[in-house]
Structure 1
Amino acid sequence: MVNASQNQDQTQVKADYDPITLSLFSNRFMCIAEAMGRSLKQTAISTNIKERLDFSCAVFSPNGDLVANAPFVPVHLGAMSCHLPDLTVITPCFDENDPTKIIFFTASRGHHSDIGGILPGSMPPTSTQLYEEGANIQSLKIVSNGYYNHDALYKIMVEDPAQYPGCSGSRSFKDVESDIKAQIAANNKGTNLLKALVKEYNLKTVHSYMNHIKNNAERSVRKMLRKAAEKAGSNVLHTIAGGSGAGDGWHGTSGVHCHMTNTRITDPEILERRYPVLLHEFGFRSSSGGVGKYRGGEGCIRSLQFLQPLSVSILSERRARSPYGLKGGGPGATGLNLWVKQPKEENGKVRTINVGGKGTMQFGTGDRLILHTPGGGGWGAPDNKEEIDKEEAERLLNQARDWEPRGTWADKAQPDF
């Protein structure tokens, strides 16, 4: 058991502090969180964590206050929470002189490939009940007295979700378990580094500067928010990449992940090696940024072909309404998700279908998904009165129809009629 009053006593601080030492401790705490992240990346096996870097690591005070959160995924900052596939492992760091006293917590959160539910990937766009998205874990003591609890994890990830109508347990439990173990190892890396920091200084000094860091962070954020309120641009959200909005004094950025997660996109080589998919095109979408004194960033075009039947879920925004401009700037182009469907009969016609912003589709062998992501909104009235290209939608459809297979995999990519 942990004595709460003891933990509060640990975090009492002196009123004064040395700014240089404050900076040193701030960097030491952040380096510990970053070292945890490097450990997690190296030991995880899933594409989500190892390649896309969809994870975060953090250090907390004994009272649960955030001390350092390495900036891997900004949406986790300050909360370490998001949606069900994001699983968090929390590890207490005990005082070596008093094994009953917690002096820190370390935590790691990672997006896991499948935790059950009605669809593979555990992110169904049509879910209406929480259980349809997979395992709902309130808490689980995964390690106790040094022993790892495999059976409890299997029950909560595989057996429990499968009890609900239309649902399955985790379809890739071995990957999930391996990544959970990688998170445990990353947390242990953090606790060892924290204990070394305490030995180098002392617990009172470390806790003192931990609180000074928190107070200094509050002042810095308040100052930043005041400045941000004076200048605001428009942004477009997308899970792959899109154009960011322009603002007073800057053009938007093209092909950037301006979504709050800021995760990496999977490298083409990794994507094609691990999944039955060919990436035929990935580049900027010309003329998609909003016009203005400062132009919005360009969106992207991403064309995928599937080498076997697959279920694909899409969660995207700005497919019906354009990302707006500001101060007279033009809107960015809306996004467009196209399903190029191969005919089921010989000499049949290839169909191009606009599938909308959200949905789940069953793609056949040889079918293609072409994503046109939105551009960012412009800022300010354009000096040369540029006009938005009214034929953009038709150009995109023609581009989809004119697609040709690429590379030595082209024969394999053709549908088998």
Structure 2
Amino acid sequence: MRMEMKTRVATNQFLESPITTEIIRNALSSAAEEMNASLARSSFSPIIYEMKDCSVGIFNRHAELLGQSAGLPIFLGNLDDCIKINTNYIGGVENYKPGDVYIMNDSYLTGTHLNDITVISPVFYQEELVGFTANRAHWLDVAGQDPGFSMNATEIYQEGLRIPPMKIYDAGVPRKDVINLITTNSRFSEAALGDLNAQIAACRTGEKRFHGIISRFGLETVTRSIADIFRQSELMDREMIAQIEDGVYEAEGCLDNDGVSNEPVNVKVKVTVEGENITIDLTGSSPQVRGMTNCGLAQTVSACRVAFKELISPDAPVTGGNFKTLNVVVPKRTIFSAEQPAACVFYYSALGLLIDLVVKALSPALKEKSAGAHYGDSMIITFAGKDPRRNASFLNVEATAGGWGGFFENDGQSGLINNVNGDFKNLPIEVLEDKYPFKVTTYGFRTNSGGPGKNRGGLGIERGYEVLTDEAFLYLWLERSKTPAWGLFGGAEAAKPEVTIVEGDKEEKALKVNAKPMKNGNKVIVRTGGGGGFGHPFEREASRVLDDVIDDYIDRQTALEQYGVVIKPEVLEVDEQETANYRKTNGK
């Protein structure tokens, strides 16, 4: 038997009034929300202002998280590391000055691909460094071999301009030569400059709000409250981990390939729970590959934090007090610890699988908190070319939603973005058709795509495009057909992703495509996978199966073959007796 948790701390051991602490906690979160609003409203690119491919945070002087807004979890989990890396580059915190702004995107430092631009600014109050504001946003283009990013790069030099930590504002004065160098090396330089200015404005907004909080409560009170917040977060982590049975838990899967070969890319996870500590060990995962599925170490740690948070107090906000009991082990030069010159464009494909595998590994010990796997990847579709309506170049990059796994209490969510992207939004049809030369021909849930189970997996989506220009190129990156979303506790796996390219009377199936020429009238239909089921499908109430048929989530054949539910041919009603007979004959 596990020993009872003995680390609870009496209220009088906290440093500040609980009421004051909660006010400051929410004030910091609100400040981050305002940063995010500033970034979205002033950016130039739809991928930021519509799709919200960005994240922001406010940190103390030790780069510990104080407040964040909804954003990409995979970004939020390592902005603190980026601040520490930047500080190390400049030789220590004493070298920051009020008004400084730094930029970086180096995949081996930030962990992400080069399109993700990180901007950091120190925050001073009465000439004392009190913290940092930081954000990350996806730029449309950073000078790679293809517009946006390539689906067949084999080294980082093909992926674009690589920026180490670099100062772009010096004591409030812009370094125009550096800014021009960075933005000129984009095919969409005006948008790049606009997005950069939006990121700087977001940092300034956070700084202003941070000043307001300190001015209202005083630096000492704010510092004490932050210490209390961190302590609460750490204690909550420790209490939840202590409830998990000690042991070693394992799971593994694979990506389809690395984009330049047909070899699968293996992901292996070993989770060790010991007392109040968790270790995630990725030993046995594939060595660094030639294609683009490599990832910088900082982002791997971030993904492990996302997996941790999915299971450990997921409703509580993340702060600098979290993850003190999490240890991540990654051998050198693997897909999770990329080194020069590894290509890293699709760094997140393996991370989405990694997160699912951590949940799968721990599911025997955390049944009520676990879920079947989700559809797994960002499922990217990109079009680039010339828009005849404006006689201008265009680039449209979309991540596509899919199904999440069924869980102990209910069905999985349908048409939701993948786990690394969090608050990422789909691009509205109206925006797409206004800004780009395409028509959306279909958009809706994909019937029969959710994994069967007592609680069904969520549905993937079907989204169709018709090209309205003779100058367009198609890029695709869809994943997880070899390891589709699996079910748990008797639940079945979900449908795999599928893409159909229609050129006249010719149809082609493909999941990965780089710069395929497209002409007026060509069509592309993207179908994403669903989520895995939870529990045996024959345990699902027949009335719920009938509702799914009525809603066109499944068809009659699936209702019979997967769920053992017989629906009367003449009406939409369950034949209770035939259903009972079928389940008895064909059941577990």
Residue in structure 2 matching 1:328, options 468, 474, 490: 490
Which residue number corresponds to residue 317 of structure 1?
479
Distance change in 2, residues 1:141/1:18 (3 Å): same
- 1-structure distance, mates of 2:464, 2:237: 40
Which residue number corresponds to residue 427 of structure 2?
266
Where structure 1 has 5 or more consecutive residues not aligned to the other structure, the ranges are 1-13, 159-168, 343-349, 390-417
Residue 319 of structure 1: how far off its partner (Å)? 3.0
SS in 2 for 1:142: strand
- 1-structure distance, mates of 2:519, 2:463: 18
Residue 340 of structure 1: how far off its partner (Å)? 0.6
Which residue number corresponds to residue 252 of structure 1?
412
- 2-structure distance, mates of 1:216, 1:38: 28
Whether the aligned pair in 2 keeps the contact of 1:69 and 1:78 (CA below 8 Å) is no
Which residue number corresponds to residue 439 of structure 2?
278
- 1-structure distance, mates of 2:466, 2:175: 41
1:131 counterpart = 2:157: yes
- 2-structure distance, mates of 1:332, 1:154: 48
What are the within-5 Å matches in structure 2 for residues 27-42 of structure 1? 27-42=26-41
Distance change in 2, residues 1:267/1:221 (3 Å): farther
Residue 357 of structure 1: how far off its partner (Å)? 4.2
SS in 1 for 2:452: coil
Whether the aligned pair in 1 keeps the contact of 2:183 and 2:190 (CA below 8 Å) is no
Which residue number corresponds to residue 144 of structure 1?
170
Where structure 2 has 5 or more consecutive residues not aligned to the other structure, the ranges are 1-12, 80-109, 241-308, 314-358, 379-399, 540-558, 564-588
- 1-structure distance, mates of 2:20, 2:135: 27
SS in 2 for 1:60: strand
- 2-structure distance, mates of 1:67, 1:386: 52
Distance change in 2, residues 1:131/1:215 (3 Å): farther
Which residue number corresponds to residue 355 of structure 1?
510
Which residue number corresponds to residue 170 of structure 1?
186
What are the within-5 Å matches in structure 2 for residues 338-349 of structure 1? 338-342=500-504
1:188 is matched by which residue type in structure 2?
A: R
Residue 53 of structure 1: how far off its partner (Å)? 1.0
Which residue number corresponds to residue 67 of structure 1?
66
Which residue number corresponds to residue 330 of structure 2?
none
Residue 201 of structure 1: how far off its partner (Å)? 1.5
- 1-structure distance, mates of 2:117, 2:432: 23
- 1-structure distance, mates of 2:78, 2:161: 20
Which residue number corresponds to residue 22 of structure 1?
21
1:242 is matched by which residue type in structure 2?
A: G
1:209 counterpart = 2:239: no
The runs of 4+ residues in structure 1 deviating greater than 6 Å are none
Which residue number corresponds to residue 387 of structure 1?
561
Whether the aligned pair in 1 keeps the contact of 2:15 and 2:224 (CA below 8 Å) is no
Which residue number corresponds to residue 466 of structure 2?
305
Whether the aligned pair in 1 keeps the contact of 2:16 and 2:221 (CA below 8 Å) is no
Residue in structure 2 matching 1:185, options 172, 188, 201: 201
1:235 counterpart = 2:374: yes
1:76 counterpart = 2:75: yes
Residue 226 of structure 1: how far off its partner (Å)? 5.0
- 1-structure distance, mates of 2:234, 2:161: 35
Residue in structure 2 matching 1:95, options 100, 109, 125: 125
Which residue number corresponds to residue 54 of structure 1?
53
1:248 is matched by which residue type in structure 2?
A: F
Once the two structures are superposed, what CA deviation does each residue of 1:349-375 show, in whole Å capped at 9, x if it has no partner? x11100124544222222111001111
Residue 68 of structure 1: how far off its partner (Å)? 1.3
SS in 2 for 1:237: coil
2:376 is matched by which residue type in structure 1?
A: L
Residue 127 of structure 1: how far off its partner (Å)? 1.1
- 2-structure distance, mates of 1:112, 1:211: 36
- 1-structure distance, mates of 2:217, 2:312: 36
Which residue number corresponds to residue 551 of structure 2?
none
Once the two structures are superposed, what CA deviation does each residue of 1:352-411 show, in whole Å capped at 9, x if it has no partner? 10012454422222211100111111122222784259xxxxxxxxxxxxxxxxxxxxxx
SS in 1 for 2:67: strand
Whether the aligned pair in 1 keeps the contact of 2:475 and 2:512 (CA below 8 Å) is no
2:530 is matched by which residue type in structure 1?
A: G
TM-score normalised per structure 2: 0.58
Whether the aligned pair in 2 keeps the contact of 1:319 and 1:357 (CA below 8 Å) is no
Whether the aligned pair in 2 keeps the contact of 1:310 and 1:362 (CA below 8 Å) is yes
Which residue number corresponds to residue 396 of structure 1?
none
SS in 1 for 2:411: coil
- 1-structure distance, mates of 2:169, 2:39: 17
Residue 78 of structure 1: how far off its partner (Å)? 2.5
Root-mean-square deviation over aligned CA pairs? 2.1
- 1-structure distance, mates of 2:75, 2:467: 32
Which residue number corresponds to residue 412 of structure 1?
none
- Name the structure, 1 or 2, with higher relative contact order (CA <8 Å, separation 6+): 1
SS in 2 for 1:219: helix
Instruction: Between 77-86 and 189-198, report the one with greater CA deviation.
Output: 77-86
Residue 241 of structure 1: how far off its partner (Å)? 0.9
Distance change in 2, residues 1:366/1:301 (3 Å): same
SS in 2 for 1:322: coil
Distance change in 2, residues 1:382/1:22 (3 Å): same
2:464 is matched by which residue type in structure 1?
A: S
Whether the aligned pair in 1 keeps the contact of 2:115 and 2:140 (CA below 8 Å) is yes
Whether the aligned pair in 2 keeps the contact of 1:290 and 1:325 (CA below 8 Å) is yes
Percent of pairs identical after alignment? Answer: 30
- 2-structure distance, mates of 1:211, 1:135: 39
2:484 is matched by which residue type in structure 1?
A: S
Which residue number corresponds to residue 86 of structure 1?
116
SS in 1 for 2:166: coil
